[in-house]
Structure 1
Amino acid sequence: MSDYNTHYAQGRVAAQGAAQVDAGLRAYMLGIYNYMGLALLLTGVVAYGVGSYAEANPAVAQTLFGSPLKWVIIFAPLAVVMGLSFGINRLSASTAQLLFWLYAGLVGLSLSAIFLVYTNESIARTFFITAAAFG
């Protein structure tokens, strides 16, 4: 009782200021999550489109996944990430954003081989289970 805090009102002022900062942070993070969600959508659409096309055309599947081109497809996302990370301080915002979308598309291309191995139902079920686990 001898350590009674009579300055409790000061904490409320600080909390109110923090709430204003958090609103701006929330808006910023919402924008980031929107970009990430759209990039994930692009990745999924590219993976499904290329995988379905390769499944319908065995010659395309052989060219993409049975030739040395498969190594380009596998390592292209890594090359873009390295280019982005090494040059992020020198790149303009529009160039960095273009590389981000390119990366999302290349990841979809590299993941498209999954559609040749697993059924669409299995992939969709796994996707929705993972999405439910994260949010």
Structure 2
Amino acid sequence: MADTRFQTQVRTQSRAEIDQGLRSYMLGIYNYMALGVALTAIITLAVAASPAAMATVYSLKWVFFIAILGMGFFAPRMMMSGNTTVAQAAYWGYAALWGLAIAPMVGTYLAVDSGMVVQAFLITAVTFGATSLAGYVTKRDLSGFGGFFMMASIGIIVAILINAFFVQSTMMSLITSIITVLLFAGVTAWETQQIKEMYVEGDAPGVAKGKSIIGAYMLYGSFITLFVNILNILGIMRQN
């Protein structure tokens, strides 16, 4: 009887230690993601403050678009290479690219109504926080949605390209942004659950660091995507 109570106590303590480790791991990822968002904001605002820089960046917008897609493919492999320096470079490079890519859009809206940019950021923060929390606490297995999210994301990219080069419709842009926001709300919940399940107590420091960086990278991408599309929705609604 005493042995049973002792074993139960040990299991309870072990579970508490794992939960504490998981919370620290997730908090580190969110903090790292926030630093990435901060870097993006600094670069975006710096470019937006200079008309010459805005013009240069705008002329290279498709270069940045292609670079971001390329980083979306290669960065995870670099982050899981076991080399912390390479992983760090990939993450910060990705955040910097986004800062340059969205500078013309954000700068334009800042000139029209800076409050709209702040509103878009706050809506994004609330949406991201709510969906990430849902992904963290849910008991439902979301892993089966991975394939759907991948195919839907490809469809969104194709729709954006078609609209940019052929249709050039404000209504299609609005619809695409609404669908993207709904899609990435789900992606955020799915990613959070996947990141949570990547946690293994006792990982070697290099492995744990790599997992933290790739987790921050995943959530960062969803946050920025939500922000860009929410800002686009608010901008189009303001025009109408």
Instruction: Indicate whether the TM-score tops 0.5.
Output: yes
Assess if the C-alpha contact under 8 Å between 1:52 and 1:115 holds in 2. no
AA aligned opposite 2:62: W
Greater C-alpha radius of gyration: 1
Give the TM-score taking structure 2 as reference length: 0.45
Q: Is 2:115 the counterpart of 1:107?
A: no
**Matched residues in 2 for 1:60 and 1:32: separation?**
32
Aligned counterparts, 1:48-87, within 5 A: 48-53=45-50, 57=51, 59-65=52-58, 67=59, 69-87=60-78
1:20/1:99 Cα in 2 relative to 1: closer, same or farther (>3 Å)? same
Deviations along 1:73-92, one digit per CA (max 9) or x if unpaired, are: 22222222322234444351
* RMSD (Å), alpha carbons: 2.5
In 2, distance between residues paired with 1:47 and 1:32? Answer: 23
Contact 2:45-2:107 at 8 Å conserved across structures: no
Query: What does the per-residue CA deviation read over 1:48-98, in whole Å, with 9 as the maximum and x for residues that have no partner?
Result: 221222xxx2x4333321x3x221122222222322234444351111111
Name the structure where helix makes up a greater proportion of residues.
2
Distance 1:89 1:16 in 2: 31
Query: What residue identity is the alignment partner of 2:11?
Result: A
Identity %: 35
Q: Which has the higher contact order (CA 8 A, sep 6+)?
A: 1
1:34 & 1:78 partners in 2: Cα distance?
Answer: 24
Shift of 1:13: 4.4
Query: Which consecutive residues of structure 1, in runs of 5 or more, have no partner in the other structure?
Result: 1-7
Kindly state the Cα deviation for residue 46 of structure 1 after the two structures are TM-superposed: 1.2
Amino acid at match of 2:48: G
Q: Find the partner of 1:124 among 118, 124, 132.
A: 118
| Structure 1 range deviating more: 110-119 or 29-38 | 110-119
Helix, strand or coil for the counterpart of 2:12? helix
SS at match of 1:113: helix
Aligned equivalent of 1:5: none
Q: TM-score, normalised by structure 1?
A: 0.75
What's the counterpart of residue 18 of structure 1?
15
**Structure 1's 32 and 132: CA in aligned 2 closer, same or farther, altered over 3 A?**
same
Gaps of 5+ in 2: 131-240
Rounded Cα–Cα distance in structure 1 between residues aligned with 2:63 and 2:87: 21
3-state SS in 2 of match to 1:101: helix
Give the one of 35, 47, 50 matched to 1:38: 35
Letter in 1 for 2:96: G
SS at match of 1:90: coil
